[in-house]
Structure formats: structure tokens, C-alpha cells
Structure 1
């Protein structure tokens, strides 16, 4: 009846879409209603400095599953075409995902929700259940979904439909002897927002002041749509905030349903539950609506690159803990290998390191290792190094570059890149940044020289050919105005 062995646990990965690190009650937001996520944090560990590998959907998801950087797996922007059907392209074909390792170890795998890594209609290796969104997102009613290869529109509210599908998968798998992995990938709280969510959730926020989402002056790099609204947002900012918060609370309710099913099946102690998001999100933070491609050039603010992360397995992972070690999505694959006891030795060319000792509370507690106090991000020609006290952002080939003293300026409001007093700090961080990426990138897939604008990627990067995989900015415009920002 699934795995009842805590040392060989089932895995439930719950992935939200565009959820800012601030959008949970347990993270200190007293305006948003997330009781089930708060309860999950209370019975596990909450990581408050957990970073995506690239602040936009598809490359972040590719890195989460492969443990590779975008400049290793070649997905540098959100995928704007070739999602499914005859022309669908699997952008991770030939690459090893952690789900492949689970399949090799005898796990039965299921997907409920958003894949957005190409060929979304075709199950990956080991998946016995595949209920996948056709593309990267869209309306919450009438969503185009593939169920085991057959396309149909989901007429109900998508968040509820995904929870119901996950519930059925868990129930059916509980009768089998093999352990399971379920990827439950919501499209929430990604836009659209206004008029998309049940009244019982929007009504919670009709009188909300949204102090957690200050609406300051627009960032000078914020692209605007034809109606003058920010590309990553909607024209009615208040209704967008109501919809974003409602989408998050609806997802929280759906997560509660799935976690209750685990409890009812007596699988909680033998199931590793991971909740995180693909990338962060600015809902007015820094004057931006969106994530990394909420500006052009793309940004690396903490609100874009930080993601919520809660991990729980009662009885094996001590409860009620908070960890502020700097960790990354590229650390997830080696951590799963260690925590699940998989017979696999991760490729030394992967940048991540296991934090399984932090999960079980057997680490030294001070995060002294290099990999735990420095993280790196990239988005095409934009790269970041982040220590506890400093952040340096380098944009190839000519900038603008950014340097922030996070100890004294946690809001990243004062760029010190050109300050003579901090030249030595900038030089040191730039040197470390260059050396680290030189060690890990595949030169044939190096995003630093590619025309990644944040407007989308259509085809895989092909070594030895001119880069034509990316959507160009509109003619006569200094900033891209993509039709979607998944």
C-alpha cells in the first residue's frame, strides 16, 4: 500500500506558479490566508532564503528537475511555442531528471498540472499518470488539459480540478506496493486574476489594504502593454491584487485537501512533502508587476529570485523549524538522492549540493560550507551572485550592473556598483561569479552571449548555429512586450 517505510518515502512535490516569497502567512504576511501552508511549515521546516535558478518559469522548472543551470540544459526563457502535438518538442530530451532516478528506483510517478517544458502532452519516463496543461497557463476555467494523451477542456475551476486529480492518484496508488511520486503543479497564483476565482475567495480580500504589496512609482525598466498596464500585471491593480491573493488562498485550500488525503491513507509519515514555487513575483514590489522579465533588462531582485519552500516528513524531519541558509533549486536533486537513499551518484558537473543534513537536523547549524552561503542565478545575459550580505548582478556585455549591501539595504534600493568605496567588493564578487560559471556552464549552451530578452523561447538552442530560438523585442521598442510572461 504505497511506501510505509519512512526511510524510503513517497514524494509529493507541490509547485506553485509565480508565488512571491512574501505570499504566505507563515512568512510573516498577516493579510493573506494560507492556513494549510502555515500548518505544513509548522510540521516541517521553512526555508526563508531558497532561490530559484532563473527568475522565470521554464528555465526554473528545468533546473529544479535536472539540477542543471540554464546554461547546461539550454532552456533560457519561458517556452512560447511547441507545447504539444505533432510539433511539440521535449526541451529536456536526453537529460536526466530526478523523476527518471525515481523511476529507476521503482517509483510510480504521476503529474497533475503544469509541465511547461515542451511536449506537454507526452508523459516522461516512469509516469503512469499524466494530467498536464497544454501550455504554460491561461484562464482558470476551460483550461486545455491532456489526460494520458487525450486533450479536453477542463470546465471546472482548474485549481480544484488539480486537487481532485491528485486525490484520485493518491487513493489509487495507496493500494499498490510501490512507492509513488506525485508532481502537483498548480497554475496558481499566475495571472489572469480579475474575474477568475470563486467569490468565496475574492470576498476575503474586498476590504484588504494590501500593505504587504506597496504600489510605488513604476520601475523605469517596467515594460507596458498597449493599454498602459504593466506587462506582468493587469490594468486594474486593486482587482489584480484581490485575484492574486484569492488564487493563492484557493490553492492553499486545494493543498489542504491533498494533505488530508495523505493523512486519511496513513501515508503522512512515509511521504516527503515539498512545497515551493518556480520563481518569485513582484506585485508592486520595486515598482514592478512580474518576476525576472517584469523588467527589461531582466531583474534579479530578491522578490523575483526568492521562492517559498516548505519541506515536511513527520517523524524524520523535525517540526517547527526555520532555516535561513542560502539554498537553491539546483540543490534539490542531490538532496533527494540522499534523503531517499537512491543508488545514484550525481554528476560532479552539477552545481548543487545536498542539504539532506539540514532536513534531518544533523547539520552543524551555521551553514559554513561555501555552497550554503553563496547562490547563483542566471537569466540569459544577466547573472547574479548572492551572499548573506551582498548581491552583485552582472549584465553582459555592457551592463548596467548592480551591487547591493544587503546587511544595510535589504530592500535593494541603493545600487553601489559605481561607488568607489565598494570597488573592491564588486571586483571580488565579479571574479567569483565569472569563475563559478566558467566551471559549470556548457560553452555551447552559454546564455551570457544569447539574445534572451524575457519575451520567450521558441526552439532549443542548437550549438554551432546562429541563435534564433528567442522572441525579439518589438520593432522600435526599447523593451519587450510579450504576450505572455509564464
Structure 2
């Protein structure tokens, strides 16, 4: 009956879309309503400094599943074409995903929701259930979906449809002897927002002051549409905030129903639940609407690169904990391998390392572990090194570069890159950043020389040649 063995648990990965780390009640936001995520945090560990590997959806998702950097797997921007059907390209073909390792270990795999890594209509290895969005985003009603390679339009509110599909998968797998992995990938709270979400959720925010999302002057690097609205937002900012918060709360309710089904089936203690998002989001933070491609040059603000992360398995992972260790999406694959006891040897070419000891509560030496207090990020020619106290952002080839003393300036308001008093710190961080990427990057897939604009990757990077076909899409919308 699925896995009843906590030492070899089932896996439920819940992935939101464009959710800022600030957009949960358990993260300290007093305005947004996420009771089920808050309860999940109480049952497990909330990671408050968990970083995406790239602050835009497709590269981040590719890194989450492969454990590779964008300059290793070759997906450097969101995929603006080649989603499905005859023109569908699998951008991760011949790459090893953690789901491949689960399939090899005898797991039965299911997907409900957004894949957005190319060939979205075709199940990956080991998937016995595949209900996938055709592309990277759409309206919440009439969404283009593939079920068993057949294209349909989902008439229901998509968030509810995905939650119901996931719950049905759990029920169908409960009586089978094999363990399961379910990827439940919502499109929420990605735009569109205005007029897209049920009134029972939008009404909750009719009188909200949205003090958690202050709307300051527009960032000078934020592109705008013809009507003057930010590319990553909508023209009516208040309605956009209502929609974003409502989308998050509706998703929280759907997650609650899925977790309730898990309880009803008696699978809670033998299922590892991981909740996170592909990338962060600015809903007015720093004067930006959007994530990394909410500006050009692309930004690496914490609001873009830190994502929510909650991990729970009652009885095996001590609950009610908060961890502020600096961790990354590239750490997920080795962590799953260790926590699940998979027969897999870690590839030293991968940058991540397991944090299974943190999950188990045996991480007493984390503070002295240098590798756990440094993370790296990239978005084409933009790269970042982040320590507990400092952040350095390097833009190839000419800048502008950024240096922030986060211990004194957590809002990243004062760029010290040109300050002679901090030149030694900047030089040291720049050297460490160069050395780290030189260690891990595949030269044939190196993004530091690519003209990535944040407008969509239309052509896959192929080993042996640097691409010239990074054509801009109509807007940075995915």
C-alpha cells in the first residue's frame, strides 16, 4: 500500500510558481492567509534562506530536478517556445533528474501541473501519471493541459483542478506495493491576477492595506509595456496585489485538501513532503514587479532569489523548527538521495551537497561549515555569491556590479561596489565567485557570454557550441 516505511518514504513535491519567500503567514507576513502552509511548517522545518539557482522559472526548475547549474544543463532563460507537440523539444534530454533516480529505485511517478522544461506533453521516465500544462502560464480558466498526450482545456479553476488531480493520484497509488513520487506543480501565484480568482479568496483581501508589499518608486531598470505598466505586473497595482494574495490563498486551500487526503490514506508518516517555489517574486519590493527578469539588467535581490521552503515527515523529521542556513535548489538532489536511501553515488561535478542532517536534526556543526554559508546564483551573464553577511553580483563583461553588506543593509539599498573602503571585500568575493564557477561550469554551456535578456530562451544550448539564437520573446512573461 504505497510506502508504509518511513525509512523509504514516498515523496510529495509541491512547487508553486513565482512565490516570494515573504508570501506565507509562517514567514512573518501578517496579511496573507496560508493556514495549511503554516501548519506544514509547524510539522516540519521552515528554511528561511533557501535560494533558487536562477531567478526565473525554467532554469530554476531544471536545476531543482538535475542538481546542475544553468551553465551545466544549458537552460538559461524561461522557455518561450518548443513546449509540446510536433515542435516539442525536451531541454533535459539525456540529463539525469532526481525523478530518474526514483524510477530506477522502483518508485511510481506522477505529475500534476506545470513542467515547463520542454516536451511538456510527453511523460519523463518512470511517470505513470502525467497531467501537464502545455507551456509556462495561462489564464486560470480554460488552461491548456495534456493528459495521456491528449490536449484538453481545463474548464475548472486550474488550482482546484490540480489539487483534485493530485488527490486522485494519491488514492490510486495507496493500494499499490511500490512507493510513489508526486510532483504537484501549481501555476499559482503566477499572473494573470485581476479577475482570475474565485471571489471567496479575493474577498478576503478587499480591505487589505498590503503593508507587506510597499509600492515605492519604480526601479530604473524595470521595463514597461506600451501602457506604462511594469512588464512583470499589471496596470492596476491594487487589483494585482488582491489577485496575487488570492491566488496564494487558493493554492494553500488546495494543498490542504491534498495533505488531508494523505492523512486519510494513513501515509503522512511515510511521505516526505517538500514545499517550495521555482523562483522568488517582487510585488513592489525594490520598486519592481517581477522576479530576476523584472529588470534589465537582471536583478539578484533576495526577494528574487530566496524562495519558500518547508519540509516535513512527522516521526522522522523533528517538527516546529526554523533553519536559516544558506541552502540552494542544487542541494535538493543529494539530499533526497541520502534521506531516501537511494543507491546512487554523488557526482563530484555537481555543486550541491546534502542537508539531510539538518532534516534529521543532527546539524550541530552547520555554523562552522563554510560550504553551508555560501550560495551561488546565475542568470545568463549575471552571477552572484551570497554569504551570511555579504552579497556580490557580477555582470559580465562590464557590469554594473553590486556589493551589499547585508548584516547592516538587509534591504539591499546601498551598493558598495564602488566604495574604496570595501574594495578588498569586493575583490575577495569576486575571486571566490570566479573560482567556484570555473570549477563547475561546462565551457560549452557557459552562460556568462550569452546575450540573455530575460525575454525567453527559444533555442536549446547544444554541447560543443555556444548558441547565437537566444532570440527575445514578446515579453518577460513566464
Distance in 2 between the 1:485 and 1:114 partners?
Answer: 15
Residue in structure 2 matched with residue 176 of structure 1 by the alignment: 176
Which residue matches 2:363?
363
Q: 5 Å matches for 1:48-127?
A: 48-127=48-127
Q: What CA distance in whole angstroms lies between the structure 2 residues aligned with 1:13 and 1:55?
A: 19
Contact 1:231 1:482 in 2 (8 A): no
Alpha-carbon distance, 1:484 to partner: 4.2
Post-superposition offset of 1:377: 0.1
- The 5-angstrom pairing of residues 61-460 of structure 1 reads 61-460=61-460
| 2:467 corresponding residue in structure 1 | 467
1:11 aligns with 2:11: yes
8 Å contact kept, 2:48–2:309: yes
> Contact 1:280–1:291 (CA<8 Å) still a contact in 2?
yes
**How many angstroms apart in 2 are the aligned matches of 1:39 and 1:60?**
26
Corresponding residue for 1:475? none
Instruction: Supply the distance in 2 between the matched residues of 1:365 and 1:24 (Cα, whole angstroms).
Output: 29
Deviation at 1:388, TM superposition (A): 0.1
The 1:482–1:305 alpha-carbon spacing in structure 2 relative to 1, beyond 3 Å, is farther
**Cα distance per residue 1:456-481 (max 9 Å; x no partner):** 00111134546233223xxxxxxxx8
Q: 2:36 maps to what in 1?
A: 36
Q: Distance in 1 between matches of 2:221 and 2:310?
A: 32
Distance 1:192 1:368 in 2: 44
Q: TM-score, normalised to structure 2's length?
A: 0.99
8 Å Cα contact 2:444-2:466 kept in structure 1: no
Shift of 1:326: 0.1
Are residues 365 and 34 of structure 1, via their aligned partners in 2, closer, same or farther at CA, if it must alter by over 3 Å? farther
Change (3 A) 1:466 1:344: closer
- How big is the shift at 1:410? 0.2
Which secondary structure does the structure 2 equivalent of 1:38 belong to?
helix
8 Å CA contact 2:366–2:372 kept in 1: the answer is no
Distance (Å, rounded) in 2 between the aligned partners of 1:219 and 1:106: 49
Unaligned runs of 5+ in 1: 473-480
Distance 2:344 2:315 in 1: 25
Q: For each residue in 1:375-408, what CA deviation from the matched residue of structure 2 results, as whole angstroms up to 9, or x when unmatched? A: 0000000000000000000000000000000000
Deviations 1:444-464 (A, max 9, x none): 000000111100001111345
> Using a 3 Å threshold, how does the CA distance of structure 1 residues 207 and 365 change in structure 2: closer, same or farther?
farther
Q: Residue in 2 aligned with 1:476?
A: none
Are the counterparts in 1 of residues 275 and 311 from structure 2 also a CA contact under 8 Å? yes
Q: d(CA) in 2 for partners of 1:365 and 1:237?
A: 45
| Contact 1:274 1:309 (C-alpha < 8 Å) held by counterparts | yes
Distance in 2 separating the partners of 1:2 and 1:139: 35
Number of residues of Structure 1 aligned to a counterpart in Structure 2 = 478
Structure 2, unpaired ranges of 5+: none
Distance in 2 (CA, whole Å) between partners of 1:432 and 1:422 is 16
Q: 3-state SS of the aligned residue for 2:156? A: strand
What is the rounded CA distance, in whole Å, between the counterparts of 1:465 and 1:99 in structure 2?
28
**CA–CA distance in 2 between the matches of 1:280 and 1:317?**
26
Q: Secondary structure at the match of 1:86?
A: helix
Q: Secondary structure at the match of 1:342?
A: coil
SS of residue in 2 equivalent to 1:423? helix
1:46 matched residue in structure 2: 46
- Cα offset for 1:255? 0.1
CA RMSD after TM alignment: 0.9
- Matched-pair contact (CA < 8 Å) for 1:451–1:467: no
1:256-288 alpha-carbon deviations (Å, 9 max, x no partner): 000000000000000000000000000000000
| 2:218 and 2:287 in contact (8 A); partners too | yes
Residue 368 of structure 1: CA displacement?
2.2
How many angstroms apart in 2 are the aligned matches of 1:168 and 1:34? Answer: 23
SS of residue matched to 2:308: strand
Query: 2-side partners of 1:120 and 1:462: how far apart?
Result: 19
Q: Give the CA deviation at 1:364.
A: 1.3
CA drift of 1:222 comes to 0.2
Looking at structure 1, the residues matched to 368 and 200 of structure 2 have their Cα atoms a distance apart, in angstroms, of 46
Instruction: State the TM-score, normalizing by the size of structure 1.
Output: 0.97
The Cα shift of 1:482 comes to: 4.0
Q: Deviation string for 1:181-220 (max 9, x for gaps)?
A: 0000000000000000000000000000000000000000
CA distance in structure 1 between the partners assigned to 2:109 and 2:371 by the alignment: 30
